[in-house]
Amino acid sequence: MTIKLDKSWCSNLVNLSNLLKIPVLDNIKDLFNVFPRAGRVEWIGIRAQRREPVTVVGSIDVTEKKGILGDHYSGQSGNRHVTLIQAEHLPVVAALTGHDVLDPALIRRNIVVSGLNLLALKDQKIQIGGTVLQITGQCHPCSKMETALGPGGYNAMRGHGGMTAKVLTGGEIRVGDNVIFVQP
């Protein structure tokens, strides 16, 4: 079956969007700043010592200078104060490694976020509670993934490892907080 659309179809869409007060964005740069909804913090963990197990917590305090208080990265300068991973990627990594379910503590990220495409946020700002984070880049897997997830764990995490962020405004981040894209 072939459907033919003429130019009136596009015109009708613009008229409908004006009627419903929905902006029509045709500039790709503008589309980079539109997200369907806010995300949500689903899980938080800290790593008190390097190579030690992750501790699951209900909230964390973050500061501009130190990052996550109580985390082994705390106090280090740079762009990796906080690590985030998308909840929707956990079942993918689980499937690739032969696990039924994947415990977020195994992948050693600080925050699991659902409902928001974290990869689309590189170099952008997000607000979680009263905090503001700058997404600085991808969080690539380390060799610990091979031990934590089994053979092939490192490669299963490639492209699914989440993002790193720098703290711009400190505060408390809690499980259940909304994760909101901050317009530039």
Q: What is the pLDDT of residues 18-54, one digit of tens each?
A: 555 566 666 788 888 888 889 999 999 998 888 789 9
Angle (CA) 35-38-39 rounded to 5° is: 110
pLDDT at 14 (0 to 100): 53
pLDDT at 116 (0 to 100): 96
Angle (CA) 52-162-37 rounded to 5° is: 130
Q: What is the pTM assigned to this prediction?
A: 0.83
What is the mean predicted confidence (pLDDT) over 149-170?
95
Give how far Cα 129 sits from Cα of 87, 101, 181, Å: 19, 28, 12
Q: Tell me the pLDDT of the chain averaged across its residues.
A: 87
Of the two residues 166 and 13, the one the predictor is more confident about is: 166
Angle (CA) 160-91-49 rounded to 5° is: 60
pLDDT at 171 (0 to 100): 97
71 conformational bin, left if phi > 0, alpha if psi -120 to 50, beta if neither: beta
pLDDT at 6 (0 to 100): 56
pLDDT digits (tens, 9 = 90+) for 106-132: 999 999 999 999 999 999 999 999 999
Report the percent of the chain where pLDDT is more than 90: 65
β-partners of residue 67 are: 63
Fold of 32-182: M1 Pyruvate Kinase; Domain 3 (2.40.33)
> What residue spans define the domains of the chain?
32-182
Report the percent of the chain where pLDDT is more than 70: 85
pLDDT at 17 (0 to 100): 52
Give how far Cα 173 sits from Cα of 57, 106, 179, 184, Å: 10, 21, 10, 22
Model confidence at 76, pLDDT cuts 50, 70, 90, reads: confident
